[in-house]
Structure 1
Amino acid sequence: MKLSKIIAIALLCSGSFALNAQEREIDRIAAVVDNGVVLKSDVSEVINRVKRNAAAQNQTLPSDSALHTQALERLILTSIQLQLGQRMGLQISDAQLDDTIRNIAQGENLSLDAFRQKVTADEGDFERFRERLREEMITGEVVRANVQRRIYISPKEVETLMKIMEEQGAVNEQYNLGHILITIPNQATNDDIQAAKERADKVLALLRDGSDFKRIAIASSSGSNALEGGDLGWQNINEMPTLFSEAIRGRKKTDIIGPLRSGAGFHILTIFDIRGENVAEIQEVKSRHILIKPSIILSEDRARSMLVEFAAKLRAGEADFAELAKEYSEDPGSKLNGGDLGWSDPSVFVPAFKDTLNRLQQNEISEPFRTEHGWHIAQVLDKRTMDATADKKSEQIYRMIFNRRYAEESANFLRELRNDAHIEVMSED
């Protein structure tokens, strides 16, 4: 008996024994995904969230049927990633989650209580927000762990792009692109390709007749950003997939571009906005840290409490940071230097570490915070502003190439995951 039937029967049986034998509505299964399920209540939650966001932005939406299809697809892909994360042993502890929420709140200039009230007012359930954030952190780690190892960038590539950019002059513009993807199935026949091309042409005709791009993206796109109206965010032209960067050169705001053919399908683009990018200055910090890694022997609580004690002694002047780092830190790269990380752009560190450094004042010692490496306390010793001179250009260009490759490989990786999964979408009846 298929997994979906077993689960459905179990749910129906549990409903049949309700108090007073009264019929009642129970949660139903929308899809079976490998060893997991997507519930209809989850689909409804995503749809309601999209509707709230659209209302706040005065954004029109497609039909509920189109929203249902997009929401279900988003949840199917999330389920696949979460199951892979479980097999990989990825976990986000409550402490890690709390620290991320604290960083988000501080980024919005809100206290934790004020942020909780805002989330509750906007979404109705703070605990559900926490768990959704945990899922987003896990899926993000799944993609990063599997995609980064696919990317190799040679010094020659960096040198070549640097020469091209110098020949073109300073290419500092950033583009906020909109994207619609009409997919082509694996091992597509000529008929499949022609059918996808016809769908893309119809979408293009609607857009050129004045239809709202974001509304059409939500209704029609198979891209990962479909529920965000196809919004890809701000990118330098050299960070985009080559197919996109070549197509938008010389184009202006609101232009509709495409269909562009790739292995994934047909792409339609628009330019929501263009802005100049200020890369003249880079903010760097000189910092140091102490890392304690939880283990079978050392619990999460004990690792954190050790750092609470260290921070208290350091603030009271009863201990020396460098000596504590040399004795206790488990970061082999900085331990012997007293935890010193030197001068760095905070963006080179993992998000929780970067956010902490950006938040700290000079000489301030942080509270213990969690990253995927373990528990840390950190101190910013100094800050400076650097010109983006020649020694920084190669780093920036490397990052541009990496971002482009990362976007391309992420899409390929997620498509492969989706194609390899067993998915059974349940009837609406």
Structure 2
Amino acid sequence: MNNRFARALTAGVLATGLLIGVAQAQELQPIDRIAAVVDEDVILKTELDRAVANILGQYAGRSEQLPPRDVLERQVLERLILLKLQVAQAQGTGVRVTDQEIEQAIAGIAQSNRLSVDQLRQQLARDGSSYADFRNSIRDELLVQRLRQRFAQTRVSVSDAEIDAALAAQANTGTQYHLAHILIALPEGATAEQIATAQKKVDGVKALIDKGEMDFNAAAVRYSDSPNALEGGDLGWRSVDEIPAAFADMMKAMKAGQVTAPLRGPSGFQLLKLVEVRDASQSGPQMVTQYHARHILVRVNDQTTEAQAKAKAETLRARIAGGAKFEDVVKESSEDLGTQSKGGDLGWFMRDEFGPEFGGAVAALADNEVSQPIHTTAGYHVVQRLGTRESDVSNQSKRAQVQETIGRRKLEEEWNRFLREKRSEAYVDFRMGKGSEGNQPGTETTLPTKGG
């Protein structure tokens, strides 16, 4: 039995069991229809309705920019399918999120909206949303974030040679480009007929934009197959090293507001719009204060409580105040194995490099002064500040920024490829709407015409 058939059989049995259970309970509660079966999970109609309502709320007063209801539901359903696949992948590879982390995230959301958690609960209730559903959505978001972080650590690397090449390319320009795109997707191994249909569709979309019958953002919302379609295809600001070379040369020759001719890429046909251009170059030195310090660390763990760790750190500080050599106490008692053999030396660092609590305490010391125990997530530190200096970190900062942007571009490319693979391998059975006839991603083939 091949894997695809096995998944289909399992999902079919699961869905059948759920339907039987619903039928047996129909006298007790309304039937919650299944919108789609995704491998061994399901997306319920209520989930889809909530997600669609959220989009409608975001576009309040601009509903004319949204596609017809059935197309919008299909776009949102595809998002939910990808979310289910990512959550399943995260859970299947050992990614976990604790209840405490979920509560902390919710508290952060409430605080950013100037609400208490109780007020947030009340707001959700007024909006007709369940707190349990909201909490589950936060859990899923955290799982996907962790999965993406793990993916970046194992699949993405940036070499010094790549950084050097990008810096050389930027030597005479600090230009950044604000881009948006429309994607007309093609499946892996697309047939000549599928390619021709997609070509015809992208040509039709381009014609609508060129004639002024629809602006780019509205066309992206209505016709793009990209995950960011409902954001108008916005790709944000990109520097030259964040844009594929073939596109970067094209952007340099374009003016703000212009749209490219259809471009064929690995995922289908694209239209790219240059929204804005800006000069983000940084001139002159970037002077910062750096600190030189050494430390002793007492960790908090299963064997050592917070109180015990703090008490031990206070004892070690008292020994130093009584005349013991700092480096001797480090070798005897510090639990930071990375600096223990160097007498606890941390080298030169910027204030918040080891966290705001640590940096703030070091900044408040005089040279050669030894701190009281400093509490951080690592445990309790006793720190001696050895000196300060003003340093130009412009080159260091530029290299770090370039490394980040190249890494972000690579991650985006690899992650999107990974999602396409997961989607193509998944068993998806649509139970409602236009998609119910197949198990592959919907590709709306109706050509755009005036008036949509």
Q: Classify the TM-score, shorter chain.
A: 0.7 to 0.9
**What is the correspondence of 1:10-29 to structure 2 with a 5 Å cutoff?**
10-18=17-25, 22=27, 24-29=29-34
Higher deviation after alignment, 186-195 or 150-159:
150-159
Contact 1:147 1:413 (8 Å CA) reproduced: no
Q: State the match for 1:73 in structure 2.
A: 78
Q: State the match for 2:360 in structure 1.
A: 362
**What is the correspondence of 1:199-278 to structure 2 with a 5 Å cutoff?**
199-210=201-212, 211-277=214-280
**Letter paired with 1:116:** L
Does structure 1 residue 399 correspond to structure 2 residue 397?
no
**Letter paired with 1:245:** A
Contact 1:176 1:274 (8 Å CA) reproduced: yes
Does structure 1 residue 141 correspond to structure 2 residue 146?
yes
Contact 2:185 2:267 (8 Å CA) reproduced: yes
Larger radius of gyration: 2
Q: State the match for 1:31 in structure 2.
A: 36
Q: Secondary structure at the match of 1:257?
A: coil
Cα–Cα, structure 1 residues 423 and 361, in superposed 2: closer, same or farther, change >3 Å? Answer: same
Q: State the match for 1:154 in structure 2.
A: 159
**Letter paired with 2:418:** F
- After TM superposition, the score normalised by the length of structure 1 is 0.75
Cα–Cα, structure 1 residues 114 and 189, in superposed 2: closer, same or farther, change >3 Å? Answer: same
Question: Aligned partners of 1:144, 1:332: CA distance in 2, in Å?
Answer: 26
**What is the correspondence of 1:347-358 to structure 2 with a 5 Å cutoff?**
357=355
Cα–Cα, structure 1 residues 70 and 186, in superposed 2: closer, same or farther, change >3 Å? Answer: same
**What is the correspondence of 1:2-401 to structure 2 with a 5 Å cutoff?**
2-18=9-25, 22=27, 24-55=29-60, 60-104=65-109, 108=112, 110=114, 112-113=116-117, 116=120, 120=124, 124-166=129-171, 169-171=172-174, 173-210=175-212, 211-277=214-280, 279=282, 281=286, 298=302, 306-307=305-306, 332-333=337-338, 343=349, 357=355, 362-363=360-361, 387=392, 389-401=394-406
1:262 is displaced (CA, Å) by 1.0
Higher deviation after alignment, 2-11 or 249-258:
2-11
Cα–Cα, structure 1 residues 158 and 362, in superposed 2: closer, same or farther, change >3 Å? Answer: same
1:318 is displaced (CA, Å) by 8.0
Cα–Cα, structure 1 residues 60 and 161, in superposed 2: closer, same or farther, change >3 Å? Answer: same
Question: Aligned partners of 1:245, 1:289: CA distance in 2, in Å?
Answer: 50
**Letter paired with 1:73:** E
String of CA shifts for 1:113-168, please: whole Å, max 9, x gaps.
488369636684444333222212211222332344333433323222222222xx
Contact 1:289 1:340 (8 Å CA) reproduced: no
String of CA shifts for 1:39-72, please: whole Å, max 9, x gaps.
2222112111111112277883111111111111
Q: State the match for 2:368 in structure 1.
A: none
Q: Secondary structure at the match of 1:261?
A: strand
Task: Provide the aligned C-alpha RMSD in A.
Answer: 4.3
String of CA shifts for 1:158-192, please: whole Å, max 9, x gaps.
222222222xx132x33332121111111122222
Contact 2:181 2:270 (8 Å CA) reproduced: yes
Question: Aligned partners of 1:119, 1:339: CA distance in 2, in Å?
Answer: 51
Q: State the match for 2:370 in structure 1.
A: none
1:248 is displaced (CA, Å) by 1.7
Question: Aligned partners of 1:102, 1:324: CA distance in 2, in Å?
Answer: 38
Contact 1:292 1:376 (8 Å CA) reproduced: yes
- Counterpart selection for 1:418 from 423, 430, 435: 423
Q: Count how many residue pairs are aligned between Structure 1 and Structure 2.
A: 399
**Letter paired with 1:175:** Y
Cα–Cα, structure 1 residues 215 and 83, in superposed 2: closer, same or farther, change >3 Å? Answer: same
Contact 1:119 1:125 (8 Å CA) reproduced: no
- Counterpart selection for 2:413 from 384, 399, 408: 408
Question: Aligned partners of 1:187, 1:125: CA distance in 2, in Å?
Answer: 43
Contact 1:183 1:264 (8 Å CA) reproduced: yes
String of CA shifts for 1:56-100, please: whole Å, max 9, x gaps.
778831111111111111111111111111111101112223334
Question: Aligned partners of 1:341, 1:35: CA distance in 2, in Å?
Answer: 52
1:293 is displaced (CA, Å) by 8.8
**Letter paired with 1:91:** R
Question: Aligned partners of 1:85, 1:244: CA distance in 2, in Å?
Answer: 33
**Letter paired with 1:343:** F
Higher deviation after alignment, 414-423 or 379-388:
379-388
Q: Which runs of 5+ in 1 are unaligned?
A: 370-374
- After TM superposition, the score normalised by the length of structure 2 is 0.72
Contact 2:177 2:276 (8 Å CA) reproduced: yes
1:325 is displaced (CA, Å) by 12
Question: Aligned partners of 2:260, 2:381: CA distance in 1, in Å?
Answer: 47
Q: Secondary structure at the match of 1:110?
A: coil
Question: Aligned partners of 2:408, 2:417: CA distance in 1, in Å?
Answer: 14
Contact 1:240 1:403 (8 Å CA) reproduced: no
Cα–Cα, structure 1 residues 424 and 12, in superposed 2: closer, same or farther, change >3 Å? Answer: closer
Cα–Cα, structure 1 residues 48 and 163, in superposed 2: closer, same or farther, change >3 Å? Answer: same
Question: Aligned partners of 1:59, 1:378: CA distance in 2, in Å?
Answer: 59
Question: Aligned partners of 1:377, 1:91: CA distance in 2, in Å?
Answer: 27
**Letter paired with 1:191:** E
Cα–Cα, structure 1 residues 111 and 427, in superposed 2: closer, same or farther, change >3 Å? Answer: closer
